[in-house]
Amino acid sequence: MQEPCLVNGFNSLEPVSYDNPDATSHCGWTTKDRIVLRTLKAAPSLEVLFDLKDTNTTFNNVYENNALSLMQGTLWKMSPPLWELREMGIPWATPGTENYLHRLPVIDEQTPTVTAENYLCHYEYEICVLARLIGHLFSYKNLHENGMAISAIHDALVRIWTFCRIFGCGKYHQADWEGQQEWLAGGVRANGLTGSFSFGWESSEVLALAPEGFGRGNSSGLSIRQTKIMQSVWRRLQQRLRHKVEQDFAIRPPRGWNSGDVDTWVSYILTLGLAAVDCLLLSNNPLQEAEDLGWVPTPAAIPPAGFLQDACTRWLNHLLVRQPSVRHRVSLPS
């Protein structure tokens, strides 16, 4: 069974092997077992995979012996962005709990082991968060009138969350422009691949220790449309969260903050990722909850504004230089 390794706090597993049913050696297995494994690896979705494992005892036994790698491989086929989001996540605690939310800013603890059980638990939590946020951000009318597919919004949210896990969450990588551009380019050089979009780098800590899955959810690089959708969704997240907290912030700002600092604080919360945004949008008292969870650092500790947006703008400029004839506009309702 191929187990993922943990590199620099991220899960790392080479996705290419998922397309090769014989990539993992199983000494002593019968021909029947190998056929069953190939069948399980061919599952196009997790739903089908779980149905197949219940076919009979042989299917269940083979599944149980390979559960983690089978889920990872199937998720890669379903959605490379979702696969990368999960690979860049650490199962610190049961997702959605106070313990989990308290750990969203980076913590100095021993990295826990990734198991099939916690992998699936975190995946299920993440898709629920994504579904709730799509509901918060867009009505069916919004999407229909602007020609936006839910799948495009979904992928943008997933990539935003992954970006936050790598460069936000208190990791002090907000200004790692080299790493951010390489991630948007699909990690082609970080992963030793060839591709049409790549950058040189000199001093990126993220790239120096990049896990093998770094940027793989972006294929060979995000397109102009994909990048602009990310920016638009990011702005909408800011607007929704600001609307949620601005009245309370004006009346009783967090300790050490002024009532006019709401935009700075909202920008900081977004760097913690979508779990933090989802938590506060669902809360009846978001500022108090943020304080209880330790999400109110001093204003002086907040990184400069422009997180994610500046990286996307740099990437768009790069694409437009390479494709000067492109005039692709994406507009989302405010």
What token pair was written down for 137?
């951000």
> Greater confidence, 224 or 23?
224
- pLDDT for 22 beyond 80: no
Give, as one character, the DSSP assignment of residue 2: P
Give the phi and the psi of residue 70 in degrees, each rounded to 5: -65, -45
pLDDT above 50 (res 167):
yes
Q: How far is CA 180 from the centre of its chain?
A: 14
Q: Could you say which DSSP state residue 187 is in?
A: S
- Specify the higher pLDDT residue, 136 or 78: 78
Q: Where are the domains of the chain?
A: 5-19+27-78, 83-334
CA 249/CA 227 separation, integer angstroms:
31
- The answer to whether residue 230 scores a pLDDT higher than 50 is yes
* Buried-exposed string 227-259: b where 16+ CB fall within 10 A, e elsewhere: bbbbbbbbebbbebbbebbeeebeeebbeebee
Element holding 6 (H helix, E strand): strand 5-7
pLDDT band at 175 (very low <50, low <70, confident <90, very high): confident
Instruction: Say how far apart CA 259 and CA 277 lie, in whole Å.
Output: 20
CA–CA distance, 124 with 131 (Å, rounded to integer):
11
pTM above 0.75, yes or no: yes
CA distance 30 to 27: 9
The residue written with tokens 């994504």 in the block is 130
Give the model confidence (pLDDT) of 242-293 as tens digits.
999 998 898 888 888 888 889 999 999 999 999 999 999 999 999 999 999 9
